[in-house]
Structures are given as C-alpha cells and as structure tokens.
Amino acid sequence: MYEICPETPADEPEVEGLYDLCFAPGRTALSSYRLRDGVPRVADLCLLLRDAGGTLMAAIRFWPVRVDDRPVLLLGPIAVHPTAQGEGLGGLLMRDSLTRARRMGFDRVLLVGDAPYYSRFGFTRLDDVVMPPPTNPDRVLGLELRPDAWVGVAGPVLRETRPPADPPAPDSTACTQVAPPKRPVDDRTETPRSAPHH
C-alpha cells in the first residue's frame, strides 16, 4: 500500500531533494517560480506519496495565483522518484489532489506542462491565459473543477497578493491509503521517462 499525506514543514528538505533529483538544475529560475516566491502554498493540497516503508516516492505542490482577479490553483511541481516513474504514481497524486481541491471548493486549476500527459486528467490548452514569459503558450493548460469555471477568464497570471482568509495548518491526519496502481510488471519502462518541465 501507499499513503498520500499533506506535506508538513518537517518534510520540506526531503521534498526539495526529490525535486532536485527530478528536475534540471536551476528549476527555481523558471518564470512560474516568480508567481510562487513569498506566497504561502495551499498547504492541504501539497501532498506526499510514501511507500509502505515510508520512502518518499512522489510529491505535488499547489500555489494560489490570480487570473482576471479570479482565484486559480497553480499545480506544480509534481515529481515521481526516477526509479518509479511510469508506474502510475503520478496519476495517483494528480487524481487525489484534484479530488481534494474540488472538495475544498476550488473552481479552476492551471499548470505549465506537456498536454499529452495532463490531458488524461482533463487539462486543455488555455488560449487566453498568459503565463510570465518565456512560457510556450501550448504548455499553458487548465482544468475546470466546476462547470465553465474557465469561461471568460482571461489575461495574465498574477501572484496572489491577498493573505489566505484563514491560513490552514497542514492536517497530517488527512491521509489516504492507496493500493498500488494496477499495471503489469512487464509494461514498465526500464529507464526514467523524459518528462514535462515547468
């Protein structure tokens, strides 16, 4: 079994280590990080997936941003340990976090990534939403958690400047037990997959 739990402050060095392992050096120089600098994460949606032995296998984080003065969730980074990529763990974290986001009342999600991967979760290109340059517009993708939540929402993506109404402490008891994704062993790749970069 795997366990998906909200990230706590004590987990931070381990999570940063996983991101450093999975992304090219200089990842925090990407333009999307300027939207995150100094802005508290959405704590309840920053999730870690650990195996039965407690080893960190995957992590996902979310930040609040604004488009057209509407609140938007910025998804990412998401990373799966290179030894376990392609086994469905990324999909588990994506689905679990998006279900939690919907339950928490968020309306819309934005990310910068490869459409061929993220389309399986319902993400489509956002033609009228502009990430800080340099960002390939084909990689700016959105998902509606409520019907039509992206309709008429257009313009630049801006940092969230309002303080969270009630900054929640991550609730480490809000964990989900998940069974390993069903995937035949010989369907696995031998090498880590090339992956989308934020």
Ligand X SMILES: CC(C)(COP(=O)(O)OP(=O)(O)OC[C@H]1O[C@@H](n2cnc3c(N)ncnc32)[C@H](O)[C@@H]1OP(=O)(O)O)[C@@H](O)C(=O)NCCC(=O)NCCS
What number of chain residues touch ligand X (CB under 6 A)?
A: 23
Per-residue b or e along 102-117, where b marks 16 or more CB atoms closer than 10 Å to that residue's CB:
eeeebbbbbbbbbeeb
Could you tell me if 32 and 135 are in contact, meaning their C-beta atoms sit under 8 angstroms apart? yes
- Binding test (CB under 6 A) with ligand X, winner from 4, 22, 48, 126: 22
Considering the complex, what minimum distance in angstroms separates the CB of residue 87 from ligand X? 5
Is 122 one of the binding residues for ligand X (CB under 6 A)?
Answer: no
**Of these, 114, 121, 159, 176, which contacts ligand X (CB under 6 A)?**
114
Which of these ranges, 43-51, 101-109, 165-173, 190-198, lies near ligand X under the rule CB under 6 A? 190-198
The dihedral of CA 55, 75, 44, 156: what is its sign? positive
Q: What angle do CA 120, 115, 2 make, to 5 degrees?
A: 45
**Distance (Å) of CA 153 to CA 70, 71, 164, 169:** 8, 10, 21, 30
In the list 117, 139, 149, 175, the residue contacting ligand X (rule: CB under 6 A) is 117
Q: Which stretch binds ligand X (CB under 6 A): 7-15, 102-110, 111-119, 133-141?
A: 111-119
Q: Which stretch binds ligand X (CB under 6 A): 33-41, 102-110, 112-120, 152-160?
A: 112-120
- Binding flag, residue 32, ligand X (CB under 6 A): no
At residue 15, what are phi and psi to the nearest 5 degrees? -70, -45
Give dist(CA 27, CA 77) in Å, integer: 10
Taking the complex as a whole, the smallest distance from the CB of residue 138 to ligand X amounts, in Å, to 13
> What span, in angstroms and rounded, lies between the C-alpha atoms of 78 and 19?
8
| Among the listed residues 67, 74, 78, 101, the single contact to ligand X using CB under 6 A | 78
Which residues of the shown chain bind ligand X in the complex (CB under 6 A)?
22-23, 76-80, 85-91, 113-114, 116-117, 193, 195-198
